[in-house]
A and B are shown apart, each in its own frame.
Chain A
Amino acid sequence: DTGVSQDPRHKITKRGQNVTFRCDPISEHNRLYWYRQTLGQGPEFLTYFQNEAQLEKSRLLSDRFSAERPKGSFSTLEIQRTEQGDSAMYLCASSPGRDTNEKLFFGSGTQLSVL
């Protein structure tokens, strides 16, 4: 069990560019979550996958954001035409998918800075 892995750890980009982040959940975890966290705030829910199906999307996830989880394994979060307000820590979490109260395992996040 190597934990939830996120790549890259840090990303600096210019406004208007597209960025993509990757999350590798713990092996055999069916549920995968994306959160966004800005300085001084708690993580904000963005979206949730059960295997490859995206079951829930927050209204925070504008049409510039898209997330995928092909084959129910790793997931990617893409932000198109980045804006300075997108600067945040993007966190991925996974859980086994056997219990509605099971604990989430978080990665260390990808810190995005939009210049």
Chain B
Amino acid sequence: DAKTTQPNSMESNEEEPVHLPCNHSTISGTDYIHWYRQLPSQGPEYVIHGLTSNVNNRMASLAIAEDRKSSTLILHRATLRDAAVYYCILRDRATSGTYKYIFGTGTRLKVLA
């Protein structure tokens, strides 16, 4: 089962910042927090991931709470192309000893022109 909880949907106006929250209260000390997004009719694509400190890349920023029980994906200026389902994921240790990524239902982001 997914180890994260996210709001089902959010709306944002175009060119405004968007903060997408995620709760992961059962996170372990070695779990990285991963974010993927899925545009309509496409497979998911990687957005960002981090462990403790805040992370930035060209797509987004990831703010991780000090206790690591929650995190926020920040899109600095939402565009219509950012309308997608955003998934916050923790790895799940498989019985084989390897890791797999378990997706929840994600947050559907609607961007208003």
Q: How many residues of B contact A (CB 8 A)?
A: 26
A40–B9 Cα distance when bound, in Å, is: 12
The reply on B53 being an interface residue by CB < 8 A is no
Q: Hey, which chain A residues are within 8 Å of B96, CB to CB?
A: 48, 55-56
Residues 57-84 of A at the B interface (beta carbon under 8 Å): none
Known: A42-B104, A107-B43, A108-B43. A50 touches B98 (CB 8 A): yes
A40–B38 Cα distance when bound, in Å, is: 12
- Which stretch in B13-21, B44-52, B63-71 binds the other chain? B44-52
Could you tell me the distance in whole angstroms from the C-beta of A49 to the nearest C-beta in chain B? 10
Seen from chain A, the residues whose Cβ lies within 8 Å of a Cβ on chain B are 4, 33, 35, 40-45, 48, 50, 55-56, 91, 93, 100-101, 103-109
What are 27 A-B contacts with C-beta separation under 8 Å? A33-B100, A42-B103, A42-B104, A42-B106, A43-B44, A45-B101, A48-B94, A48-B98, A55-B96, A55-B98, A56-B94, A56-B98, A56-B100, A91-B43, A91-B44, A93-B44, A100-B99, A101-B49, A101-B91, A104-B101, A105-B46, A106-B42, A106-B44, A108-B41, A108-B42, A109-B42, A109-B43
